[in-house]
């Protein structure tokens, strides 16, 4: 059987990831593909429990290294239990955030050593690389306004200072510059329809590439 592949949708909080992923799913299902939607942190029962620990706003004392290793632990489980089996059985996996987010938030924003992050990440991924990271780019302040307009509270990472979120945004842009073959930046300030159109262009060329 032909293998599937994984597309990551990533970017600032409130950039529109969840919204655009629904559009991607509709598009792919209409074309007859088997699609698996998943997210990080999370994606498995164990991963969702780890997510709750990572994002709990009542524990601001979490150390940077604890946070990093929790992300790594969840990712290892996610890859083995869900992502690899789906790809092996020919499915297209769409993941809401993945390792680019760890580099953006833990390295570019928090300042954790790059080599340490690469080491933990390599333990979890063992050489696995997604086919594409689609980065929805927006000023984090605009993203936060969107999150707030959704009417839910902020989680521990959304509640970080604007400066932190701006560094994370720039981290995504820098990663895209360093690895243009697996990153595409999409202007997330466009309307929902325009964002989806831009994203589907990228998806359609990936389908051709993996045909």
Ligand X SMILES: Nc1ncnc2c1ncn2[C@@H]1O[C@H](COP(=O)(O)OP(=O)(O)OP(=O)(O)O)[C@@H](O)[C@H]1O
Residues that bind Mg ion (CB under 5 A): 17-18
Nearer to Mg ion, 17 or 167 (CB): 17
Stretch touching ligand X by CB under 6 A, among 44-52, 59-67, 101-109, 187-195: 187-195
**Which residue from 17, 75, 91, 167 is in contact with ligand X, where contact means CB under 6 A?**
17
Is 135 one of the binding residues for ligand X (CB under 6 A)? no
**Binder among 16, 23, 74, 130 for ligand X (CB under 6 A):** 16
- Identify whether the C-beta of residue 56 lies closer than 8 Å to the C-beta of residue 153: no
144 binds, among ligand X, Mg ion, none (CB under 5 to 8 A by kind): none
Instruction: Tell me: does residue 195 bind ligand X (CB under 6 A).
Output: yes
Is 58 one of the binding residues for ligand X (CB under 6 A)?
A: no
Backbone angles phi, psi at 183, to 5 degrees: -130, 140
Question: What CA–CA distance (Å, rounded) separates 96 from 37?
Answer: 8
- Beta bridge partners, 95, equal 8, 38
Q: CB-hemisphere CA count at 13 Å for 181?
A: 2
CB under 6 A: which stretch of 14-22, 50-58, 106-114, 162-170 binds ligand X? 14-22
Phi-psi region of 42 (alpha: psi -120 to 50; beta: other; left: phi over 0): left
x/- track of binding to ligand X for residues 138-157 (CB under 6 A): --------xx-xx-------
Interaction residues for ligand X, span 35-54 (CB under 6 A): none
Q: Does 77 bind ligand X (CB under 6 A)?
A: no
Q: Closest approach of Cβ 123 to ligand X, in Å?
A: 26
Number of residues lying near ligand X (CB under 6 A): 15
Among residues 132, 158, 128, 146, which one has the least CA distance to residue 57?
A: 158
Binds 150: which of Mg ion, ligand X, none (CB < 5-8 Å by kind): ligand X
Q: How far is the CB of 130 from ligand X (least distance, A)?
A: 17
3-state SS track over 109-168: HCCCCHHHHHHHHHHHHCCCCCCEEEEEECCHHHHHHHHHHCCCCCCCCCCCCHHHHHHH
C-alpha distances (whole Å) from 15 to each of 61, 83, 188 are 27, 24, 6
Residue whose beta carbon is closest to ligand X = 16
Interaction site with ligand X (CB under 6 A): 13-19, 146-147, 149-150, 190-192, 195
């Amino acid at each position: 059987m032909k293998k599937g592949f994984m597309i990551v949708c990533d970017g600032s909080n409130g950039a529109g990831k969840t919204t655009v992923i629904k559009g991607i799913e509709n598009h792919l299902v209409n074309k007859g593909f088997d699609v698996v939607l998943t997210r990080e942190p999370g994606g498995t029962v164990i991963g969702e429990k780890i997510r709750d620990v990572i994002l709990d706003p009542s524990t601001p004392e979490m150390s940077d290294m604890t946070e990093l290793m929790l992300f790594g632990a969840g990712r290892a489980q996610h890859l083995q239990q869900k992502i690899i089996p789906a790809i092996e059985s020919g499915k297209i996996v769409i993941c809401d955030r993945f390792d680019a987010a760890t580099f953006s938030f833990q390295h570019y924003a928090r300042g954790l050593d790059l080599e340490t992050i690469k080491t933990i990440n390599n333990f979890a991924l063992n050489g696995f690389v997604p086919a594409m990271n689609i980065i929805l780019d927006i000023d984090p302040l605009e993203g936060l306004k969107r999150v707030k307009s959704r009417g839910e509270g902020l989680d521990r990472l959304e509640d970080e200072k604007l400066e932190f979120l701006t560094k994370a945004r720039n981290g995504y842009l820098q990663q895209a510059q360093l690895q243009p073959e697996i990153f595409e930046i999409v202007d997330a300030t466009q309307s929902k329809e325009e964002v989806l159109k831009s994203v589907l262009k990228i998806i359609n060329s990936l389908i051709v590439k993996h045909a």
